[in-house]
Chains A and B, each alone.
Chain A
């Protein structure tokens, strides 16, 4: 065993790349859940983003357009969930599971012609000065733009929820839709917007998988990333900063586990892969034991104005 062969600089850099898809999806889902909606269809939206982003990038030659198209496509798909749960008042758990089915099926059909193709990928940014810093340069400042965008998005969501009036309203809707409704806020409209945003984020996360991290399109390539994003939101107890920690922790465990193996260490793979979920449960217990319920009070409950 030679743990010295693990380069911590490269390890951190890898973790950042490996965590970006789940970070993007999780931050979007957090906003959705903050508005009081539980959308279990993240996996379906991510994989739709992955295939649409890839297809558009291949056809236009522009990964940026690919990301934009992925965000739009997944957001539109998420609206089917939005309309069903918000307008037709269907159960959110069942509808979310249905969305996953639809996304997986749809993506495989769209993706058939793109199997085995290569796409243009995002260039690594060459940030002057910062990129030349001795350790931090390689670790933090030599990634592609989406890594920074995902971080900016976390900051933006944090600021939006904490400091803006719109953010306050969104939280109010999630905590008590009846009160928000009584105050004259359009509960359904606000939730639809949150769902749309969550879809767009999941789409970006999926496209990051197919355009940067892997990069290729293969059927079923998200392989459960969407479910991990859901776990991260819970782990984070619905706080933007902790979503970042959670995503890097979940992404980090996989990368670290593989790195330890590569360095020749004997690792209990199953135990390590289980640990983030056990930690999440522990976090849940801790926050609920303190009496502060992290979850938005109306999470998963249907809202109808006349009821």
Chain B
């Protein structure tokens, strides 16, 4: 342990010197991005990269960006982040949950570099975390889905049984149920974030089982294509707009819009006002975008959906407002009570009415 601390301080001193040098020299701020997938995945990484380009657009010559794509979430991540810090990056965004421990470890060695870790929960003086309240968007999807389903069966392609995904299922279900008490959800766990062939199969399986709305929490557009082929099925874009499937089957979408946050954080580094924060933003601040609701959605449903979006954005309405019971019938939220962030972050149960069990 002592030896490691020694190394830490040496590395830190070296870097402190480099960083100080960079800034006094009036050089551009260097922002680095670590991506978990290829930038062309059309979903998660694609949106992070789009936000990187937005940062470049915003600051022009005052900023320099670097990125590394397809960095595995294991031993290689720590090295990739360290190399980025060594290359003189002033702020580094690590854009996947699996980079949490590596980010914290590297941040210890580079106290003068700012780190921003997406979707994690560990912070330090120079490590912020940020994530988006996707469940707010799920509420709107649930509303449209519940209103539009004719078979009263809604399919949900889920990735892994983690709180983030479970929150989305619960939120969509509660709001579908609100407009359509007969609605049923079928959840298929694909155990992947990105496998186009498997996602297409999952979508087909759901469609063949009578689901006429497909929600997805995986990143490829394959389910959209499967729905288009089937005809009378509606879908929602995930992570990115997936507008190429509008107006049918894609009737709306949840867009991860990281650009405002990234611009804000890079600006803070430029101004010297950066502080470690924990950001969990939703529709209001623009981190969660709702893609255009197409004409395939009946006008009054569209209006209700937009009103819902408005009330969530303004903070008048919280998608998890009681009374809500857990699946086993026990009370989770009393009448009028809203869910705490802590409850939401660790959510590991279905709400009442959902069938099936969460695999674990």
Which residues of chain A have a CB within 8 Å of any CB of chain B?
A: 5-7, 10-11, 14, 18, 21, 108, 111-112, 115-116, 118, 209, 213-216, 218-223, 225, 254-255, 258-259, 261-264, 266, 269
The answer on a CB contact under 8 Å between B198 and A254 is yes
Residues of chain B with a CB closer than 8 A to A18's CB: 197, 201
Q: Give the residue of A5, A108, A223 whose beta carbon is less than 8 angstroms from that of B196.
A: A223
Interface centre among A11, A213, A266 (most CB of B within 10 A): A213
The answer on a CB contact under 8 Å between B201 and A14 is yes
The answer on a CB contact under 8 Å between B202 and A258 is yes
Residues of chain A with a CB closer than 8 A to B342's CB: none
The answer on a CB contact under 8 Å between A116 and B200 is no
Q: Give the residue of A14, A112, A214, A262 whose beta carbon is less than 8 angstroms from that of B211.
A: A262
The answer on a CB contact under 8 Å between B204 and A14 is yes
Expressed in whole angstroms, the minimum distance between the Cβ of B210 and any Cβ of chain A is 6
Mark B54-67 against chain A: 1 for CB-CB distance below 8 A, else 0. Answer: 00000000000000
| Complex Cα–Cα for A4 and B127 (A) | 52
| Complex Cα–Cα for A118 and B211 (A) | 25
Nearest CB in chain B to that of A263: its residue: B209
Residues of chain B with a CB closer than 8 A to A6's CB: 208-209
The answer on a CB contact under 8 Å between B208 and A214 is no
Residues of chain B with a CB closer than 8 A to A11's CB: 208
| Complex Cα–Cα for A254 and B197 (A) | 11
The answer on a CB contact under 8 Å between B38 and A213 is no
- Determine, out of B99-107, B218-226, B329-337, the stretch whose residues face the partner at the interface: B218-226
Mark B26-49 against chain A: 1 for CB-CB distance below 8 A, else 0. Answer: 000000000000101110000000
Nearest CB in chain B to that of A265: its residue: B356
| Complex Cα–Cα for A219 and B220 (A) | 11
Does B205 have its Cβ within 8 Å of any Cβ on chain A? yes
The answer on a CB contact under 8 Å between B186 and A264 is yes
Expressed in whole angstroms, the minimum distance between the Cβ of A177 and any Cβ of chain B is 37
Nearest CB in chain B to that of A117: its residue: B244
Are A221 and B196 CB-contacts (below 8 A) given A116-B244, A266-B356? yes
Which residues of chain B have a CB within 8 Å of any CB of chain A?
A: 38, 40-42, 155, 186-192, 194-198, 200-202, 204-206, 208-211, 220-222, 225, 244, 355-357, 359
Q: Give the residue of B191, B194, B205, B221 whose beta carbon is less than 8 angstroms from that of A259.
A: B205
The answer on a CB contact under 8 Å between A216 and B196 is yes
Residue contacts A-B, CB under 8 angstroms, 19 given: A6-B209, A112-B40, A116-B244, A213-B200, A214-B196, A214-B220, A214-B222, A214-B225, A215-B225, A216-B220, A216-B222, A218-B196, A223-B198, A254-B198, A255-B205, A258-B205, A262-B209, A263-B186, A269-B191
The answer on a CB contact under 8 Å between A7 and B208 is yes
| Complex Cα–Cα for A21 and B208 (A) | 21
The answer on a CB contact under 8 Å between A266 and B188 is no
The answer on a CB contact under 8 Å between B357 and A266 is yes
Expressed in whole angstroms, the minimum distance between the Cβ of B62 and any Cβ of chain A is 28
Expressed in whole angstroms, the minimum distance between the Cβ of A216 and any Cβ of chain B is 6
The answer on a CB contact under 8 Å between A118 and B187 is no
Residues of chain A with a CB closer than 8 A to B244's CB: 116, 118
The answer on a CB contact under 8 Å between B197 and A269 is no
Nearest CB in chain B to that of A220: its residue: B38
Are A262 and B205 CB-contacts (below 8 A) given A111-B40, A219-B40? yes
Q: Give the residue of A115, A221, A261, A263 whose beta carbon is less than 8 angstroms from that of B197.
A: A221
Expressed in whole angstroms, the minimum distance between the Cβ of A68 and any Cβ of chain B is 22
The answer on a CB contact under 8 Å between B205 and A14 is yes
| Complex Cα–Cα for A118 and B188 (A) | 26
Q: Give the residue of A14, A214, A264, A269 whose beta carbon is less than 8 angstroms from that of B359.
A: A269
| Complex Cα–Cα for A221 and B195 (A) | 6
Are A214 and B200 CB-contacts (below 8 A) given A269-B191, A269-B359? yes
| Complex Cα–Cα for A115 and B206 (A) | 26
| Complex Cα–Cα for A217 and B135 (A) | 29
Residues of chain B with a CB closer than 8 A to A255's CB: 201, 204-205
Q: Give the residue of A5, A213, A223, A262 whose beta carbon is less than 8 angstroms from that of B188.
A: A262
Interface centre among B40, B206, B211, B355 (most CB of A within 10 A): B40
The answer on a CB contact under 8 Å between A214 and B197 is yes
Residues of chain A with a CB closer than 8 A to B155's CB: 262
The answer on a CB contact under 8 Å between A223 and B201 is no
The answer on a CB contact under 8 Å between B191 and A264 is no
Residues of chain B with a CB closer than 8 A to A116's CB: 40, 42, 221, 244
Residues of chain A with a CB closer than 8 A to B41's CB: 218-219
The answer on a CB contact under 8 Å between A261 and B188 is yes
The answer on a CB contact under 8 Å between B205 and A115 is no
- Name the 9 nearest CB pairs between A and B, nearest first: A115-B40, A258-B205, A10-B208, A219-B38, A262-B209, A259-B205, A261-B188, A214-B196, A262-B205
Expressed in whole angstroms, the minimum distance between the Cβ of B16 and any Cβ of chain A is 38
The answer on a CB contact under 8 Å between B209 and A254 is no
The answer on a CB contact under 8 Å between B209 and A5 is yes
The answer on a CB contact under 8 Å between B357 and A262 is no
Expressed in whole angstroms, the minimum distance between the Cβ of B68 and any Cβ of chain A is 15
Nearest CB in chain A to that of B186: its residue: A262
| Complex Cα–Cα for A213 and B226 (A) | 8
| Complex Cα–Cα for A269 and B359 (A) | 9
Are A223 and B186 CB-contacts (below 8 A) given A14-B204, A118-B244, A269-B191? no
The answer on a CB contact under 8 Å between A264 and B356 is yes
Contacts A14-B208, A216-B196 known; 18 new A-B pairs at CB < 8 A: A5-B210, A116-B221, A216-B42, A216-B220, A216-B222, A218-B42, A218-B196, A218-B220, A219-B41, A220-B38, A254-B198, A254-B201, A258-B202, A259-B208, A261-B188, A262-B205, A262-B208, A266-B357
| Complex Cα–Cα for A21 and B200 (A) | 14
Nearest CB in chain B to that of A111: its residue: B40
| Complex Cα–Cα for A223 and B196 (A) | 8
Expressed in whole angstroms, the minimum distance between the Cβ of A12 and any Cβ of chain B is 11
Residues of chain A with a CB closer than 8 A to B221's CB: 116, 216
Residues of chain A with a CB closer than 8 A to B208's CB: 6-7, 10-11, 14, 259, 262
Are A262 and B206 CB-contacts (below 8 A) given A115-B42, A215-B225, A221-B196? yes
Expressed in whole angstroms, the minimum distance between the Cβ of B145 and any Cβ of chain A is 16
